[in-house]
């Protein structure tokens, strides 16, 4: 059965592989180009063309190369590609996955899904119709998706009598458009996919074309990535403890990592030394790894780190903020809603966020315009310049500097509904405190006893319980009860009333020095937490709105867990989203138990003391 | 070799994302070359461990050597093997003579549905590849199925960069496809590179035939081939343009689109 075709270039050993996407407006001939490419290089399965020809004859339709890859019945009936297909193709020592993306506007999310997997693109423009909205939109999306290598194919040249002038007009218009996106096409090729002109063989009808055929142009795309030469970025994916080893896993998105490297985790500011690189069925074990690799590492000490953190070297840290500005393409069924909570996923970090501002809609036709639009509504398939504000600080980069850690998706309910690239870090209110905490943590001198040792010894993690709410709601009373009950259990607890700082450490401050008051409080809390203590505090003395006070304290004690408890006389909305809320409690014993239960549920308190309690510090 | 490591890195990343996000996760293992490579990749991803059950939907018509191989690896690699079977359909005498699509639907699709329902898996890892067959070419890495196991291929969720669909409403599950980007040749190249144990049904043992794709005995046919080593298989595949599943009867006509829409692998 196997036919021998050893003379085809496909039989050569494979050197590398590459994903290429074919994009462009609907009916500009993407599927036809793909079919033709396979047919003319002899890489179709035996009998495939005959089979499709027979079906066409049966249905009374003219055979089209597009039918070779439009697999779904509906696609063939309507003559339109619905979803992206991966097709495989080998030529001249390279294995290609060619992704045929739909051009119809309705299926833009499928086009985006296809293009997001690609390293290079063929962008088709119909010589008769010229540059259409979708041609521009696809060009814009390619640049946002990180596809930097583009070759433009001006198709259906047979329908314009292979006219060089028609071609030159399309080429000029589209080059001008791409230049606004800082994209220079590698080639612009006049072709006819239907008739095979300049697809796999040079066209006799267009002797004026000096460039390559489409097939030749594929070999000109580079599969070398620059990411290996950039500073290290390694987003933490998971932490495993299947056996004696505690292995941190993830995929290096840029740079290199070696055994013995000192690495910093952002945003927690923890650091450790890489002890080993772990791998299954690899002898001898690897000692270094680089961008693209999925790896596992062990550290010289057991530090508390979580999925979502980004490992880097200290000489090149990622940015950290709750807020950033980005270009976002929106694929959600409903328009982007500024009142709604979304999830932002950036590398492996996932956190709730809001859209804080919509600056303008980026239209493929007005790329260079810089006007502000107010009350802009971002509808499905639109691109917008927005500010995203997350509920907790994220580590990230600007997209211009780092591809993978400079982009994110928004998740609405269960679905990925938009993707964006970060254009600017926005300093939030805590920026100054965050920088202070970062520099202080890097320089922190630590004894031999780790936080994990202390947690085992005391039966709880070091943490902070913050009681907030109006005056005379029993906050101090509750704080005392929680402290007493935990001490009676044998835990290491301390009630720190901010009033105690006022006459001493803060004696030089006035009421209007609210930010300095809270900074000093935060640093004291940070010191005490480093002793392994479970700290309980009220927030009455701070001359700041509760949400600002809590955020400032969180920033300074980060990454220690903070449990917030809101107390009020009457039912009403808390100024912050508290972990626990109590209204006019009368039974304080029960309230105290509720706080203890919440501490256990958050994994701060061990269920029992002694006998080596186990804590889930990460993941 | 570099292209195989790139494929491995992506598949390992997908497996770790699946393990991170799905509490009740299982991996389908048919003992064929693809799902065995998938199993090997799981051992890579989890450093020699396989932290979820391996599910085999047993139609009772499998080639006996496949069951021996299954039980041997399960022992040696300390696998948690879960075998499901549509006993009711078998008791009623279901076999391929009642129609291939009918038989596949009853014993494989419905056998799988019963297993999912019984065990409540929310994530199922499968070794399907995009180059096998044209509807698989349109799959996502993380592909949702509704409560009837139906695949809504008209409205698949977007998949951007390495951000997958990992959350889902109740009563639905996600199919996870770490091998989508692998070709048949890549599978054999990787088996050779990693020295993965595979069934010798894939090799010619002197009678000039071998299996290229393994399924149920009545519906899977050997091909004419003298390839008796992995190297010879790779050479043969590089020179052929006959489809891999040409020996699989249920693929004829629109069989696969209809089967897969209703929840077939």
Q: Does B187 touch chain A (CB under 8 A)?
A: no
Q: Which two tokens stand for residue A410?
A: 């928004």
Q: Is the dihedral of CA A579, A583, A584, A589 positive or negative?
A: negative
Task: Name A123's bridge partners.
Answer: A23, A152
Is B2 in Cβ contact with A16 (below 8 Å)? yes
Residue B190, pLDDT score: 96
Q: How far is CA A229 from CA A274, A296, A317, B49, B150, in A?
A: 20, 21, 16, 33, 45
Which letter does DSSP use for residue A286 in this model? P
CA distance A53 to A39: 13
Chain A interface includes B154 (CB < 8 A) = yes
Looking at residue A9, its pLDDT comes to 42
- Cβ-defined contact of B243 to A419 (cutoff 8 Å): no
Size of interface A-B (CB pairs under 8 A): 178
Q: Provide CATH code, domain A9-219.
A: 3.40.50.300
Q: How confident is the model at residue A5, as a pLDDT? A: 35
* Contact between B16 and A294 using a beta-carbon 8 Å cutoff: yes
Q: What average pLDDT does chain B have?
A: 86
Q: Between 2.40.30.10, 3.90.1150.10, 3.30.2350.10, 1.10.10.10, what CATH number should domain A321-428 receive? A: 2.40.30.10
Distance CA A122, CA A215 (A): 11
In this structure, whether the domain defined by A227-312 belongs to CATH 2.40.30.10 is answered with yes
> B residues 245-264 near A, CB within 8 Å?
246, 254, 257
Task: Please identify among residues 19-78 of chain B the ones whose CB lies closer than 8 Å to any CB of chain A.
Answer: 19-20, 43-49, 51
| pLDDT beneath 70, residues of chain A | 1-12, 69-84, 103, 105-106, 364-375, 572, 607-619
Count of C-beta atoms within a 10 Å radius of residue A55: 14
The residues near A553 (Cβ < 8 Å, ≥ 6 apart) are: A464, A466, A518, A521, A522, A525, A539, A562
Report chain A residues whose CB lies below 8 A from the CB of B177.
none
Q: Does B231 touch chain A (CB under 8 A)?
A: no
Angle between helices A431-443 and A514-530 (to 10 degrees): 30
Helical H runs in A409-488? 431-443, 451-458, 475-488
Q: Of residues B5 and B155, which shows the higher confidence score?
A: B5
A494 token code pair? 């301390």
Q: How many residues does chain B have?
A: 265
Residue B192: HSE in the Cβ half-sphere, 13 Å Cα cutoff: 15
> For chain A, give me the number of helices (H) and strands (E)?
14, 25
Of A295, A273, A299, the residue nearest A282 (C-alpha): A295
Taking only the tens place, the pLDDT of each residue in B30-72 is 999 999 999 999 999 999 999 999 999 888 888 888 889 999 9
Do residue A242 and residue B2 have CB atoms under 8 angstroms apart?
Answer: no
Q: Residue A83 has what pLDDT?
A: 66
pLDDT at A479: 93
Q: Which fold has domain A445-601?
A: Rossmann fold (3.40.50)
Does the beta-carbon distance from B161 to A409 stay under 8 Å?
A: yes
- Min Cα distance A348 → chain B (Å) is 8
pLDDT of A4 reads 34
pLDDT for A126? 93
φ and ψ at residue A321, rounded to 5 degrees: -165, 170
* A374 token code pair: 């107010």
- Give the number of other Cβ atoms within 10 Å of residue A198's Cβ: 27
Going by C-alpha positions, the residue among A367, A530, A539, A502 that lies closest to residue A446 is: A530
Helices B184-194 and B230-239 pack at an angle, to 10 degrees, of 160
Q: Do A414 and B47 touch (CB under 8 A)?
A: no
Domain ranges of chain A: 9-219, 227-312, 321-428, 445-601
Bridge-based pairing state of the strands A493-495 and A534-538: parallel
Q: What percent of chain B has a predicted confidence (pLDDT) above 70? A: 92
Asked whether B227 and B206 are in contact (CB, 8 A), the reply is no
What is the pLDDT at residue A158?
93
Across all residues in chain A, what is the average pLDDT?
A: 85
User: Strand locations in A481-607, DSSP E?
Assistant: 493-495, 534-538, 562-568, 580-583
Whether A9-219 shares its CATH topology with A227-312 is answered no
The Cα B188–Cα B4 span in angstroms is 10
pLDDT score of A272: 92
pLDDT of B5 reads 93
CB contact under 8 A, B9 and A292: yes
pLDDT tens-digit readout, B174-232: 999 999 999 899 999 999 999 999 999 999 988 999 988 887 877 778 888 899 999 99
User: What interface predicted TM-score (ipTM) does this complex get?
Assistant: 0.89
Nearest chain A residue to B183 by CA: give it. A88
Structure tokens at A124: 């088709």
For chain B, list the domains and their CATH numbers: 2-183+251-261 (3.40.50.620), 184-249 (no CATH)
Range list of H helices, A489-542 = 499-502, 514-530
Q: Which residue of chain A has the CA closest to B139? A: A85
Q: How far apart are CA B174 and CA B179, in angstroms?
A: 15
User: What's the CA gap between A600 and A595, in Å, rounded?
Assistant: 9
Contact A86 B137 (CB under 8 A): yes
Of B13, B163, B243, the CB nearest to A294: B13
- Provide CB contacts within 8 A for A103, sequence distance 6+: A23, A24, A25, A26, A27, A28, A30, A81, A111, A134, A138
Cβ contacts of B13 on chain A, cutoff 8 Å: 237, 251, 294
Helix (H) / strand (E) element for B188: namely helix B184-194
Rounded Cα distance between A255 and A291, Å, is: 5
Contact B180 A86 (CB under 8 A): yes
DSSP tally for chain B: helices H, then strands E: 9, 8
Q: Which residues of A touch B154 (CB under 8 A)?
A: 74, 82
- CB within 8 Å: B9 and A294: yes
Residue from B47, B178, B196 whose CB has the most chain A CBs within 10 Å, to mutate: B47
Beta strands per DSSP E along chain B? 25-28, 54-57, 81-84, 123-125, 142-145, 173-176, 209-210, 223-224
How far A5 CA lies from chain B's nearest CA (Å)? 5
Q: Chain B window 72-131: which residues touch A at a Cβ cutoff of 8 Å?
A: 130-131
* Crossing angle between the packed helical segments A431-443 and A546-557, to the nearest 10 degrees: 20
Residue A421 β-bridge partners: A327, A407
CB within 8 Å: B162 and A5:
no
pTM of the model: 0.80
d(CA A421, CA A400) in angstroms, rounded, equals: 9
């Amino acid at each position: 059965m196997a036919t021998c075709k050893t003379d085809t270039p496909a039989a050569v050993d494979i050197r590398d592989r590459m994903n290429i996407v074919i994009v462009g407006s609907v009916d500009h001939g993407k599927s036809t180009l793909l079919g033709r490419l396979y047919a003319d290089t002899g890489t179709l399965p035996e009998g495939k063309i005959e089979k499709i020809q027979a079906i066409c004859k049966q249905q009374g339709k003219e055979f089209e190369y597009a039918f070779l890859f439009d697999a779904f019945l509906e696609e063939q009936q309507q003559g339109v590609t619905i979803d992206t297909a991966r097709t495989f193709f080998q030529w001249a020592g390279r294995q290609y996955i060619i992704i045929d993306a739909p051009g119809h506007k309705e299926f833009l999310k499928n086009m985006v899904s296809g293009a997001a997997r690609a390293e290079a693109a063929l962008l088709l423009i119909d010589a008769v119709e010229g540059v259409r909205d979708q041609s521009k939109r696809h060009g814009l999306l390619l640049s946002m998706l990180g596809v930097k290598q583009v070759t433009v194919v001006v198709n259906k040249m047979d329908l314009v009598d292979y006219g060089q002038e028609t071609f030159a007009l399309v080429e000029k218009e589209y080059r001008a458009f791409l230049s606004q996106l800082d994209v220079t096409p590698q080639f612009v090729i006049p072709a006819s996919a239907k008739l095979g002109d300049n697809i796999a063989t040079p066209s006799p009808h267009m002797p004026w074309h000096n460039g390559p055929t489409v097939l030749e142009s594929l070999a000109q795309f580079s599969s070398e990535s620059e990411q290996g030469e950039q500073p290290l970025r390694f987003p933490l994916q998971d932490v495993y403890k299947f056996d004696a080893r505690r292995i941190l896993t993830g995929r290096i998105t840029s740079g290199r990592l070696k055994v013995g490297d000192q690495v910093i985790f952002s945003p927690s500011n923890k650091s450790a030394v890489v002890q080993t690189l772990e791998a299954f069925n690899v002898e001898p074990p690897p000692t270094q790894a680089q961008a693209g690799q999925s790896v596992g590492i062990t550290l010289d000490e057991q530090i508390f780190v979580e999925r979502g953190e980004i490992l880097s070297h200290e000489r090149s840290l990622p940015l950290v903020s709750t807020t950033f500005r980005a270009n976002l393409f929106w694929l959600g069924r409903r328009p982007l809603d500024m009142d709604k909570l979304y999830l932002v996923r950036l590398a492996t970090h996932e956190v709730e966020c809001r859209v804080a501002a919509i600056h303008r809609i980026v239209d493929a036709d007005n790329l260079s315009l810089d006007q502000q639009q107010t009350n802009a509504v971002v509808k499905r398939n639109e691109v917008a310049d927005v500010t995203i504000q997350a509920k907790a600080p994220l580590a990230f980069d600007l997209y211009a500097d780092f591809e993978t850690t400079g982009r994110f998706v928004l998740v609405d309910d269960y679905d990925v509904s938009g993707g964006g690239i970060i254009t600017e870090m926005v300093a939030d209110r805590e920026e100054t405190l965050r920088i202070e905490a970062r520099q202080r943590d890097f320089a922190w001198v630590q004894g031999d006893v780790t936080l994990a040792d202390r947690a085992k010894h005391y039966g709880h993690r070091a943490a902070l319980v913050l009681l907030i709410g109006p005056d005379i709601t029993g906050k101090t009373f509750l704080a005392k009860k929680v402290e007493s009950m935990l001490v009676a259990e044998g835990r290491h607890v301390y009630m720190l009333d901010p009033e105690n700082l006022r006459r001493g450490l803060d004696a030089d401050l006035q009421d209007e020095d609210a930010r300095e008051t809270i900074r000093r409080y935060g640093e004291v809390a940070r010191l005490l937490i480093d002793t392994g203590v479970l700290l309980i505090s009220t927030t009455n003395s701070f001359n700041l709105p509760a949400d600002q006070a809590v955020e400032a304290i969180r920033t300074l004690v980060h990454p220690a867990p903070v449990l917030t408890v809101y107390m009020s006389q009457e039912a009403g909305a808390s100024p912050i989203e508290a972990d626990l809320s109590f209204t006019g409690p009368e039974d304080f014993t029960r309230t105290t138990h509720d706080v203890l239960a919440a501490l256990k549920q958050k994994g701060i308190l061990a269920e029992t003391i002694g006998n080596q309690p186990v804590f889930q510090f990460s993941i | 070799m570099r292209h195989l490591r790139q494929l491995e890195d992506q598949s390992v990343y997908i497996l770790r994302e699946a393990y991170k996000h799905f509490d009740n996760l299982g991996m389908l293992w048919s003992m064929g070359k693809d799902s065995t490579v998938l199993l090997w990749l799981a051992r890579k991803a989890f450093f020699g461990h396989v932290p979820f059950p391996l599910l085999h939907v047993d139609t009772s018509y499998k080639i006996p050597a496949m069951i021996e191989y299954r039980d041997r690896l399960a022992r040696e690699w300390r696998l948690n093997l879960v075998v499901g079977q549509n006993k009711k359909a078998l008791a009623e005498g279901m076999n391929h003579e009642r129609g291939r699509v009918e038989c596949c639907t009853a014993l494989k699709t419905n056998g799988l549905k019963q297993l999912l329902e019984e065990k409540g898996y929310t994530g199922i890892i499968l070794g399907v590849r995009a180059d096998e067959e044209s509807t698989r070419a349109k799959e996502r890495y993380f592909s949702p199925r509704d409560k009837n196991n139906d695949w809504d291929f008209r409205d698949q969720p977007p998949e951007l960069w390495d951000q997958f669909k990992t959350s889902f409403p109740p009563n639905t599950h996600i199919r996870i496809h770490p091998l989508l980007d692998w070709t048949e040749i890549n599978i054999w190249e990787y088996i050779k590179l990693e020295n993965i144990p595979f069934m010798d049904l894939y090799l010619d043992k002197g009678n000039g035939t071998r299996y290229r794709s393994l399924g149920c005995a009545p519906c899977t046919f050997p091909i004419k081939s003298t390839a008796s080593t992995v190297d010879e298989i790779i050479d043969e595949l590089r020179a052929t343009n006959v489809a891999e599943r040409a020996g699989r009867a249920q693929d004829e006509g629109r069989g696969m689109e209809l089967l897969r829409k209703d929840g077939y692998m």
